[in-house]
Amino acid sequence: MPANYNEKQIPIDTKILKTLRSAGAGFVSGADIANTCGISRAAIWLRIESLRQIGFEIEAVPHLGYKLVSTPDLLIADDIASLLNEDVIIGRDIQVYTSTSSTNDIVLKLATSNVAEGSVVFAEYQTNGRGRLGRSWISPAKKGLWFSVLLRPNLSPQLSSRIIIMASTSLVKAINQVTGIQASIKWPNDILINGKKTAGILTEIGTELDKINYIVLGIGINVNLSKGDLPQTLSKTATSLMIESGSKVHRPTLAAAVINQLDSDYKTLSKGNFTIIAEEWERFCETIGKNVTIHVGDRIIKGRAEAVDTDGSLMVRTQHGRLERVIGGDVTLEK
Ligand code: BT5
């Protein structure tokens, strides 16, 4: 790969926004932005005008240059990309759909078209958002983060649950960074605040012989939903970051924080350091140490959740004293 591979791929608007952000509350001269982007000052002016039209507030002062005052609460690929760390794998390509059936459907197509891992697809609205086992996921327009990530981890299919363990840990950390809220994890795939579901994870896996070909990691985060955005049937079990914190959360900021965190944790996992992630996960997980009932298909397992195993499965001490390894299922916590 040539040394300037990433440099070549960065779109102009991402570069402009990154340069403006690097000045913090200060100004950057048109000449400096033009230099960084390799285009004329007149062309920069045109790009700034088009950014203003989609809601970026950019101040221009003669002799000082440009200052980024505020950015819209919209998912815009160039904007999210401008907030990412250098050399990310997850997030190296970002696409945003205004509306789609399910972002997992789009990424499944990328997965089977040999696209490299790391693509992230967001939708402002999903007409057919999916949960596990054919359940549906409510995805109102411009209120949440509904997105999917294409991964091709070098793991055997038996270890694929590690990706859910990783993603739930990343979500708790990113939510805490941006909102200060300490969420918890309910094994296997729920992020809870005050006992109510704020985010869910759906992975879909393609295998080839004894290898994972792809994992589509689908994540739904209820960000600025108000109570009225959720159906009555979910009023006791679901919540959003806005409902819990009392204030709106800037979605592009959260989107970038989640991608940066996923990227960093994925790199830890890829280096073979799953135990670092598993230890964090256990600290955040409210299922560990509790008496649980787990429905796996028609089977019901009752016991005490003791730990997460190296493959990402839950270790449950049953009433008969046996240690059972549980791969997936629906957990009810017993009082
Ligand atoms: C999940 O399933 O929690 C996985 C959710 C994954 C959603 C993302 S959004 C981006 C990507 N594209 C998709 O199409 N999906 C992924 P599960 O554990 O089966 O939970 C589903 C259940 O949660 C439903 O049956 C409802 O009871 C409840 N539910 C539905 N929408 C919800 C919401 N927005 N917030 C909280 N609970 C919800």
The pLDDT of residue 5 is 37
Judge residue 40's burial from the number of C-beta atoms within 10 Å of its C-beta, 0-12 exposed, 13-18 middle, 19 or more buried. Answer: exposed
Distances (CA, A) of 36 to 13, 30, 44, 79, 158: 12, 10, 11, 17, 46
The pLDDT of residue 301 is 93
Q: Taking phi first (over 0 means left), then psi (-120 to 50 degrees means alpha), and beta for anything else, what does residue 169 get?
A: alpha
Nearest alpha carbon, ligand 1 atom 37: 238
Tell me how many degrees the CA angle 228-234-238 measures, rounded to the nearest 5.
85
Contact yes or no for 223/209 (Cβ under 8 A): no
Atom of ligand 1 nearest to the CA of 104: 12
Closest CA to 108 of 202, 201, 204: 204
Phi, psi of 234 (to 5 degrees): -105, 5
Q: Which residues pair with 316 in a beta bridge?
A: 305, 324
The pLDDT of residue 7 is 43
CA 84 centroid distance within chain: 13
CB proximity list for 158: less than 8 A, separation 6 or greater: 311
The pLDDT of residue 193 is 98
Contact yes or no for 68/60 (Cβ under 8 A): no
Tell me how many degrees the CA angle 279-200-245 measures, rounded to the nearest 5.
85
CB proximity list for 290: less than 8 A, separation 6 or greater: 304, 305, 333, 334
Nearest alpha carbon, ligand 1 atom 28: 137
Place of tokens 């996992």: 269
Place of tokens 């805490």: 176
Say how far apart CA 27 and CA 13 lie, in whole Å: 17
Contact yes or no for 132/180 (Cβ under 8 A): no
Could you tell me the sign of the dihedral formed by the alpha carbons of 45, 46, 47, 50, in that order?
positive
Contact yes or no for 191/200 (Cβ under 8 A): yes
In the chain the beta strands, taken as DSSP E runs, fall at 57-61, 65-70, 93-97, 119-123, 144-151, 184-186, 190-193, 196-208, 211-222, 291-296, 299-308, 314-318, 323-326, 330-333
| Ligand 1 within 6 A of CB of 14 | no
Å from CA of 200 to ligand 1 middle: 5
Nearest alpha carbon, ligand 1 atom 38: 137
| Domains defined along the chain, listed by start | 12-70 (1.10.10.10), 77-284 (3.30.930.10), 291-333 (2.30.30.100)
The pLDDT profile of the chain, 335 residues, written as one tens digit per residue, is: 333 334 446 799 999 999 999 999 899 999 999 999 999 999 999 999 999 999 999 999 999 999 999 999 999 999 999 999 999 999 999 999 999 999 999 999 999 999 999 999 999 999 999 999 999 999 999 999 999 999 999 999 999 999 999 999 999 999 999 999 999 999 989 999 999 999 999 999 999 988 999 999 999 999 999 999 999 999 999 999 999 999 999 999 999 999 999 999 999 999 999 999 999 999 999 999 999 999 988 899 999 999 988 888 899 999 889 999 998 888 888 76
Contact yes or no for 226/249 (Cβ under 8 A): no
Q: Which residues pair with 211 in a beta bridge?
A: 208
Determine the residue of 137, 145, 251, 296 to mutate for testing ligand 1's pocket, defined as the one with the most ligand atoms within 8 A of the Cβ atom: 137
Say how far apart CA 177 and CA 190 lie, in whole Å: 19
Å from CA of 138 to ligand 1 middle: 7
The pLDDT of residue 9 is 62
Å from CA of 137 to ligand 1 middle: 4
| Ligand 1 within 6 A of CB of 197 | yes
What separation, in Å, do the N-terminal and C-terminal C-alpha atoms of the chain show?
55
CA 298 centroid distance within chain: 31
